[in-house]
Amino acid sequence: MMDDVMLDPVDRGLVHALRIDGRAPFSRIGAVLGVSENTVARRYRRLRSSGVLRVVGAVNGPRLGYTSWTIRLRCTPDAAGAIAGALAARDDTSFVHLLSGGTEISCNTQTRSADERDALLLEKLPRTRRVIGVSAHLLLRSYALPGTWLGPAVLSEDQAARLRPPAPDDAARPVEVGDADRALLAALAVDGRAGHAELARATGWSESTVRRRAEALRGAGVLQYQVDIEPARLGFHAEARLWTSVRPSALQDVATAMAAHPEVSFVALTTGPTNLVAVVNCRDTEDLARYLTERVAPLDGIATMETAPVIRTVKRAGPPMRP
């Protein structure tokens, strides 16, 4: 159940600013929003301590040679919650949801090697008690990502440009991640705005080394900052997963078109019986119906589409939040 914390225009501007740059100084955000640094800091602490939002440092696995999957599990109703909780507790999963009637779970995972992939997909999940069926879809290419979702945008393009960090260097040499890097990434996964002193304690590095390494990982595209917040907090109360079969010759056009829809926060090309997965966030069920019938249905090339409403979210970008 959501508590009574309400977001006013300043809060919504802060959320949008953090979506653009999760590590942006409060002074810069305040200058863009037209309020003081202290106001921004106070608003952030209020929302963070109440469990409404946080900034998460997420690993962009493909930059490290990882493979990304979206998994669907069907299980008995009495076991769905426990299985979803077990998946959420893993450090290689994200966006764990109970779907439809509560007997299906969806989640994303990144595997670092073929051995990890086989252990999870071929051994651990199928042998989990009361799992009726498992399907795993390799994510081949992303067209829209949660960090670029247009739905909750409230800042102007000029304001956004003042906050936007430099783009990752696509030409950068591959980055090798060591044990201290993993400790750094683990700490940022819990709190993407953790101070350098706290991160230094987690890694054993000096504060200056932590700062340089975090900047290097971000500059190489390995480290990304995301805002963890329920869409309902921003007025989007109907969240759903779409698994779509698209004619191959139309796949690029359909994926690009859906990625431009403000209702869509994720679109990716996948393997499996369907070839396009999307995450949709709408104001209510009537808004979802309009989206499906008026915006998706006219797209040429869609053969079939399965819509699964999200019943409960167990985990988003980072570990489950605790107020």
Give the model's confidence band at 150: pLDDT under 50 very low, under 70 low, under 90 confident, else very high: confident
Residue 67: C-alpha distances to residues 9, 148, 272 (Å): 39, 21, 15
Residue pLDDT, tens place only, 56-73: 999 998 888 899 999 999
In the chain, where are the structural domains located? Answer: 236-315
The whole-number average pLDDT for the span 113-132 is 77
**8 Å CB contact between 262 and 280:** no
Phi-psi region of 317 (alpha: psi -120 to 50; beta: other; left: phi over 0): alpha
The residue with tokens 């006219």 is 298
**8 Å CB contact between 119 and 111:** no
Give the model's confidence band at 307: pLDDT under 50 very low, under 70 low, under 90 confident, else very high: very high
**8 Å CB contact between 163 and 16:** no
The whole-number average pLDDT for the span 171-186 is 84
Q: Is the pLDDT of residue 1 over 50?
A: no
What secondary structure letter does DSSP report for 64?
G
CATH architecture designation of domain 236-315 = 2-Layer Sandwich (3.30)
The whole-number average pLDDT for the span 280-290 is 97
Calculate the average pLDDT of the chain. 91
Q: Is the pLDDT of residue 301 over 70?
A: yes
The whole-number average pLDDT for the span 232-259 is 96
The counts of H helices and E strands in the chain are 11, 10
Cα–Cα distance for residue pair 241/231, rounded to 1 Å: 14
> Which residues face 55 on adjacent strands?
227
How many beta carbons lie within 10 A of that of residue 272, not counting itself?
14
